[in-house]
Every structure is written in structure tokens, then in C-alpha cells.
Structure 1
């Protein structure tokens, strides 16, 4: 049985069916991030149900709508009002999964969380409860990237290697912190990602560059001096409390947050390195299929979200494509000058 961190979801832990559902979700092999997001979503929904004096077993669609309205009105961490659209979407999906479980168990007859539906035979598509807002991930420009790298210069060699690996391999947070020494093939500059550590549950290989290779040599030497021969995680904690233990997801997030503050680039996140790498592969002329394979995506539509060419590059492409047309336009517009 997979261990669930119940302290993160106290209301789910106290709800018998909620606890069974989340444990079931973890046991069938969902990624830790998915289990965590679903657990927090249902914990939030249970808290709202308690506030208005109802329960998931009796909640009707209007209760779900009121919960969504509450999320739209809450203060957010940026000082504004309303949770982010992506946060609300994830919470709705998690709560819908919970109600699906209640229906399957015969505890409810219907799921009160309505699904969206695609159009059929040219008909109108049915919208879900909340319209999805698709925002392009933030990609650092050259100036911001230089500031990020300068901030990283002050990090220990372990953290610098994590940054270069995260970029080179377009690694997700879970994939990065789950690396073990045996996953590396230095002679070919390859990282072997085990299926159990990837979101898609598919093994794949990615490469790393010269800088990563040099940092790897330095880090392995330092790692050996500090901890001796350790065959568990590649990146080990140096803190007193967890000394010698594999570095966790939250620790990597804290490292990146510190870099973001020193670089004065608040948009930087652990996923930024992945976004930038996949975008750079598109800039280098890789096909969508090649990028999808490198990223470990099952669906090409997901890959498309990671390919965001900068406005400068788009302008250059536009200028090149319309050069002859623009010359003709300029020739015709010149008549306005001659009219003087």
C-alpha cells in the first residue's frame, strides 16, 4: 500500500470515504503531485461543506457552484481576489474524481460536478463549470536568464548541477529529485529516467551538456568526501536533520525560490527550466514529435503548450516572410512623399 501524507489533508483523513478514495488514488499509481493536488482539493471542498452545514453525500450541484464561487472571491497570495484559474480547474477535477468514487460505491446516484463535452456533428460544445483560461508559461528572455545564472553562481555545486540537469534534460521536479547515480551514463552524457519516476510512467532518455558533465564530476567528488559510498539518491541533503537522505521535492522548490529572489525574477519556478529547454529545442528546429519524445508527453497537444517562441523571433520570421511584400508596399507609399 502506498503511503499517503495524511497530515496534509486532515479533513480527508477524518472522512471515511474520502480516506478510502485518496488511498485508492495513490494505490493505482497516480503521480505524487496528482495525489497531493486531489487531496488538497477535496480537503478544501470538505471544509466548505462543513461551513454551510452539508456533506458530500448530500451535496447538490448548487453546493458545488457555491464552492466554486467562494474560490473566485477568496483573497490570493498576490494581494488580489480569487484563486488562479488553473488552481480552480485542478480542484474541480479532484473533487469530480471524489464524487465519481462515491457514485461507483453506491453512496450517491449522480455526480454533482458537471463535465464539459466536446461538440458532436458540428453542434455546440458544452462548457464545464469553469471556463478554462490557457496562459502561456513564462519563458525568461536572455536578460532574465543571465540574472538567474548569476544568482546560481553563489549556490553549492550540488544545486548548480541540479539547475543544469533540470534545463538540459527538461526534467520535472519529481524526475530530478528521484535520480540515482545508476541512472547516469557519463560516457554518452545520458540520463536514464525510470518509468516509475516519470509522470507518464514511461521510461525515456535525455542528454546533458558539457557544463553539467563538469559539475557532475565536481559534485560526485564532493559527495563521496561527505557521505562515502551511497547508492540511494543522487542529490543528498546536507542538513543536520536529514543529512545523507535524498533531497525532496520541497527542498528543490525552496532552492529555486531562493535563486528567484536573488535574481529578482519572481516568475522563476522549478518548471521554468523545462519550459525553456523545450522551447529552445523548437528554436533549434526539432519536430513536434521529437520534442514530445524528449519531454515524455503522451499527447502532442501538451507539447504544443511548451513551445513558445519569443516575440523577437516571431518578428524576425514575419519580417523575412513579408520582405518582398513590404518592399512593394514601401514603393507604393513612396508616392505620398513625391506628392509633396
Structure 2
């Protein structure tokens, strides 16, 4: 059975569970899977809620087509559901997430004898458009790192300004993720050796070098300014502190990067774009791909290879500008 687009074209892809209708038999299987994700997999409440919402949303659409048993679901019907979702305006990214959720659900259902076969076993996610990472050129990167905001200028080398300088220099020098930056402790920094010990995804640690500008900025922050923000509640080990003395959070760092971008007159970027920028500039300067992979903490070399495409695109632009017959 394939979808008649006219019969479900008005269905809204909402996330309000009250608007979903599932048969009691299907709902029982979904509830069992929810318990499995929570107890056996140890997933957080928010993660489980997201998975279950995606599953219920898809099964609701199938219910509207008269499919009320898991054994009645076929791969062709799931593909038709995917086509309907795209037709209704769902993004490929959102649909890919829902397909992954459905695959996990049907794998669980098949493994627990809730369904005779797994219709989602070979269900492919929609192909995503390849997007190159957003990066700044070298002059823009220098501007965002060195240009202070109005707030920082008014405070004139205050603890806040020196902290922001140190964070910007370190992010650009090492390509650390913002989550890694805010979790750094004082003991992770070695100013003499100019290295930082970073704890990345999966609690994997790596040692990343940094240059003199970052060293001077960190020295000014650690040895001159940090004490000005310390309070009785300050975590003794935290490297970067917020204005109230606690460990700085990711939201505050993102806000600082956006403010710096506006002040510097460069494209508005998020902290992750500084990571992309650092990697691209390293490769432009002749760094080895595997060295950049190790520095960024990528588990797969293919992830790092994206930056070679960025460098190639920049080379093409320079070529077209330089050669009249390009």
C-alpha cells in the first residue's frame, strides 16, 4: 500500500504527543521501547523523549492509512511515509533523524518478537546536501581575535577583557570545541611547554600545542586577571570564569564570539566556525592531515578531510581572480 498524498497532505508534523493517534498494540510496543531506552540503554529523559516523539509521529501517519499492527508495516510503506514527509515540508535533516529512530525501534521490536520481520532494516536516510564548513580568512580571523567589543574597551584591560582575549586566542590556536573550552581546568594548561590537555568526546584526551599569542593571553588571564573574578563559590580548578565567579558556560562563550564578530566587522560566526577556521588555516600552511585530525580530536580522517575541500574552494577562487582565462 502506498500513500495517497491527498489524504494526508494536511497532516501537521508537530511534536505534541496529544495529537498522535496509535493503536493500543503499537502504543504498547512504543512504550516498551521507551522503557528499554531508559533502563537498558541509560539514555537521558530528553533523548528518550525525542526518539519516542519521532517514532510516534511516523506511526501516527501510518495509522491514518489504516496500518495498526507492526506486522502490517512494509519497507515500501515506510518509503512512502518518507516521501510524504518531504512533500509536507520536512527537512532532510529532520527526516534522517526520524528514520534512525524508526530503525532502532523496529530492530528492538524484531529482536523481542513483537514483529516477524524488520521492515526498516535497509531503510536508507535521505541523502544530505554536502555543505562546506564556514570559515574566516586569515585577516578576518586576526580581526575577531584582536578586536575588542565596546564593553571590553570600556572596561579597559579588566579581568573580563583579558579573559575574553585568552579564550579567543586559545580557540583559534587550538581548534577546541566550545564544550571542551569551558571544561578546561588550570592544570590542563602548561604555559612553559605551550600545550593544553583537552578532554574531548568519549572522555578521550589529547594534547594540543598553541603559539605565543595564546600563551601571552593565557598568562595575563591566569596570573593577573583570574583572581579578580574568584568568589567563595568559584570552582578552584576552573580555567575560565564567568562574571559571577562560576565556571563559564557555553552560552556565554557563544555570546562573546558573536559580539567580537560584530565589533570586528567580520561575518557573524559561532565558536565552532573558529574550529573550522583553525583547521583550514593549518592545512593551508602545510600541516599534515593526520596531524590536524589528532589536534581536533576527530575519530575519523574523513571528518578532517572536509577542510581540504574548503582549501580547494579557496584556491579555485584565487585562481579565478588571478587568471584572466580561468
Match of 1:183 among 188, 199, 204: 188
How far did 1:43 drift? 3.0
**2:179 matched to 1:174?**
yes
Aligned counterparts of 2:173 and 2:145: Cα–Cα separation in 1: 14
Aligned counterparts of 1:178 and 1:260: Cα–Cα separation in 2: 23
Give 2:238's aligned residue. 233
2:196·2:208 contact (CA, 8 Å) conserved in 1?
Answer: yes
Give 1:18's aligned residue. 34
Give 1:333's aligned residue. none
Q: TM-score, normalised by structure 2?
A: 0.67
Q: TM-score, normalised by structure 1?
A: 0.65
Cα deviation, 1:8-49, whole Å, max 9, x if unaligned, reads x996xx95532541565556xxxx9xx977864553443454
Cα deviation, 1:258-316, whole Å, max 9, x if unaligned, reads 44555565662221111111111111212222121112222211110123215453466
Q: Which has the higher contact order (CA 8 A, sep 6+)?
A: 2
- Counterparts in 2 of 1:210-229, with a 5 A limit? 210-220=212-222, 221-228=224-231
How far did 1:53 drift? 4.8
Aligned counterparts of 1:298 and 1:248: Cα–Cα separation in 2: 25
Give 2:315's aligned residue. 313
**2:254 matched to 1:253?**
yes
1:41·1:92 contact (CA, 8 Å) conserved in 2?
Answer: no
Cα deviation, 1:114-173, whole Å, max 9, x if unaligned, reads 547xxxxxxxxxxx2412322211222346445644665445433332222222111122
Gap change, CA 1:200 and 1:285, over 3 Å in 2: farther
Aligned counterparts of 1:15 and 1:148: Cα–Cα separation in 2: 49
Number of aligned positions between the proteins = 282
Match of 1:202 among 199, 204, 213: 204
Q: Secondary structure at the match of 1:167?
A: helix
Output the aligned Cα RMSD.
Answer: 4.1
How far did 1:204 drift? 0.7
Aligned counterparts of 1:37 and 1:144: Cα–Cα separation in 2: 38
User: Which runs of no fewer than 5 residues in structure 2 stay unpaired?
Assistant: 1-14, 18-29, 153-159
Give 1:93's aligned residue. 100
**2:113 matched to 1:113?**
no
Give 1:293's aligned residue. 294
2:191·2:219 contact (CA, 8 Å) conserved in 1?
Answer: no
